[in-house]
Amino acid sequence: MGESSTAESRSMSDLERELRNNLEIVFEKVEKACERAGRKREEVKVLGASKGQSVEKIQIVHKLGIKLFGENYVQEAERKIALLKELPIEWHFIGRLQTNKVKKAIKLFHVIESVDRIELIDELEKRLLRQGIGQKVLIEVNIGRELSKGGVREEELEKLVERLSRSSSLEVCGLMCLPPWSEDPQKTRPYFQRMRKLFEYLKPIFGQSFTELSMGTSHDFEIAIEEGATIVRIGTLLFGSRT
Ligand SMILES: *Cc1c(COP(=O)(O)O)cnc(C)c1O
């Protein structure tokens, strides 16, 4: 080992080394999945799913090259975003959004990925019009029709799309999903394929700005990339276990 690398490793904390290592693993897997699918690496963005992760970890991961972060709880996000306000982070909301948190959410997040019901759209519109601002959103689809999860069911999608297509303040940028968990990530593939179909079907309706397909977590993001994901949301594989 040369002198400079010794100096560098001395200045780097254990935490930083661990996160750098995690990120290398993630990036390598993303690259390989892109190759397998014949996709360009630039087509896929890695979002750090940072719920339950410290501000310090987010800071380090940002420095290492992640520009997108996703939070699930408005209150937790409010605190963290305030502490990290100097960093040029693009914040996404990826949790279930209650209507009584909408006012705060539109101030905090660049993209709300979990729009899934008319009532929420109405509340968003009301608040956005009042502020005279717009909001980028994704439609969350409950692709596995799970009672425990948010997202619009396919049979309700048409109605939601109709409502969104006449909204002036919401810019619909794509779709998001969190499919049923299974031990074998290959079992998730059909859900990702179905999402891709819905995405292609809706593209002409929303036009130019409809570009994002947010799907895949630590467990199954490689499959998601093979099936067309443009955003993969990685938590534990990137940051380690949540507190
Ligand atoms: C927590 C979470 C993730 C990340 O999950 P990991 O298994 O930690 O990678 C992705 N998407 C959503 C909606 C989440 O809530």
pLDDT in tens, 50-77: 999 999 999 999 999 999 999 999 999 9
Summarised one tens digit per residue, pLDDT across range 182-212 is 999 999 999 999 999 999 999 999 999 999 9
* 4 has pLDDT over 60: no
Tokens describing residue 236: 């534990």
DSSP annotation string for 97-111 = PPGGGHHHHHHH-SE
The pLDDT value given to residue 200:
98
The pLDDT value given to residue 243:
87
Closest atom of ligand 1 to CA, residue 219: 7
Closest atom of ligand 1 to CA, residue 218: 9
Ligand 1 centroid from CA 118, angstroms: 24
Ligand 1 centroid from CA 142, angstroms: 15
48 ligand 1 Cβ < 6 A: no
Residue closest via CA to ligand 1's atom 13 equals: 94
Q: Are 46 and 68 in contact (CB under 8 A)?
A: yes
Question: How many residues comprise the chain?
Answer: 243
92 ligand 1 Cβ < 6 A: no
Provide long-range contacts, Cβ within 8 A and 24+ apart, for 61-69.
Answer: 61/19, 61/23, 61/238, 61/239, 62/87, 62/89, 64/19, 64/20, 64/23, 65/23, 66/23, 66/238, 68/92, 68/231
Domains and CATH numbers, the chain: 2-239 (3.20.20.10)
177 ligand 1 Cβ < 6 A: no
Count other C-beta atoms under 10 Å from residue 101's C-beta. 19
Over range 11-32, report the average pLDDT: 95
The pLDDT value given to residue 11:
64
pTM here is 0.95
